[in-house]
A and B are shown apart, each in its own frame.
Chain A
Amino acid sequence: GESVGLHLPTLSVQEGDNSIINCAYSNSASDYFIWYKQESGKGPQFIIDIRSNMDKRQGQRVTVLLNKTVKHLSLQIAATQPGDSAVYFCAFAGGTSYGKLTFGQGTILTVHP
């Protein structure tokens, strides 16, 4: 069945360090991948997305890498700031007609000043 899982449930870093959050998926039909950030008491907030015809995409301070061979997705945050502290979810769509998202378990990122 479809599933998305995370290698690390928690990640603690120092302010200014780079952070890497990982995600594995199992459905080969997945063709659209998204990273969301969720702060306490709020809804998921879009960070960056990537389609299956790409293996890397960069945004402001964030980079998403997609390795379709091993079905692995990662989010890199450069110069992590305390405001980056949140739960990060990977999600994917594809293999269905109406774009429902399947979410991973989430990684708690804590940035220490």
Chain B
Amino acid sequence: EPEVTQTPSHQVTQMGQEVILRCVPISNHLYFYWYRQILGQKVEFLVSFYNNEISEKSEIFDDQFSVERPDGSNFTLKIRSTKLEDSAMYFCASKRDQNTEAFFGQGTRLTVV
């Protein structure tokens, strides 16, 4: 069964450092998303990406965040200067169509120290 894969599974970084979280969405999907989940809280939308551009972003997704689809398979989230409060699970998701279920990856646990 096709699945969304994310790497790394766990990333520890120093405050102020840049991190890149990587995702390989399901191959025939067209809509891509990043969500985050702070420990014990609900999943929060960060950004959606369609047709090679950001289609929607939340207030969380400020200038320190960026996304890229550098080739036909990878979808990355970059955090330029990490803060302690960026520590969370980051989930990538993809969809075939706009209003179908989103398939989520296993997540990357980001710990900022």
Contacts and interface: CB of A to CB of B under 8 A. Distances in A.
Interface string A90-112: 01011011111111111000000
B99 A42 contact: no
Given A89-B42, A106-B42, A100 B48 contact: yes
Nearest to A104: B42
B56 A96 contact: yes
A43 B106 contact: yes
B45 A101 contact: yes
Contacts of B41: 105
B42 A42 contact: no
A103 B56 contact: no
Interface of A: 31-32, 34, 36, 41-46, 49, 51, 89, 91, 93-94, 96-106
20 contacts: A36-B104, A41-B107, A43-B105, A44-B104, A45-B104, A46-B101, A91-B43, A93-B99, A96-B56, A98-B48, A99-B48, A99-B98, A99-B102, A100-B56, A101-B33, A101-B43, A101-B45, A101-B93, A101-B102, A103-B44
Interface of B: 4, 31, 33, 35, 41-45, 48, 50, 55-56, 91, 93, 95, 97-107
